[in-house]
Amino acid sequence: MSNIPEDLKYAKSHEWVRLDGDIATIGITDFAQSELGDVVYVELPEVGRVLQLGDTFGSVESVKTVSDVYAPIAGTVTEVNASLGARSELINSDPYGDGYMLKLRVDDPSALGDLLDAAGYAAVIA
């Protein structure tokens, strides 16, 4: 069973969102990192990039495959997790903490209501 924190929102494409005011922290789920295997490289967007819902914002490369990562909510990138450049394995060891991918200023915080809660995401990956 994957770790699915109750306080986050989830996309069916396996990204998670933690909203703090109008800033969303985004990463990939524990389930996604376990399916990918050992992460060896992460491609992240430029700070200032405007993302629409569903836009590809980067990719995660593992020993098995390369997987695109999609914006679960629209907004403008305010920060990327620079430590993933040298330590991409943080996505495996701490996907909901130090392994986050980026932060963005959300255009419409109410759009989080369109994402899944923990129980909904658990049903998707069951």
What's residue 100's pLDDT?
98
Q: pLDDT higher for 109 or 80? A: 80
Q: Which amino acid is at 45?
A: P
Domains in the chain with CATH codes:
9-107 (2.40.50.100)
Supply the pLDDT for residue 118: 97
* Rg, the chain, Cα only: 13
The token pair at 79 is 């920060």
**CA-CA distances (angstroms) from residue 71 to 1, 86, 95?**
25, 23, 16
Nearest to 118 by CA among 43, 8, 18: 8
Residue 53 pLDDT greater than 60, yes or no: yes
Give the mean pLDDT of 106-123.
95
- With contact defined as beta carbons under 8 Å apart, do 15 and 70 qualify? yes
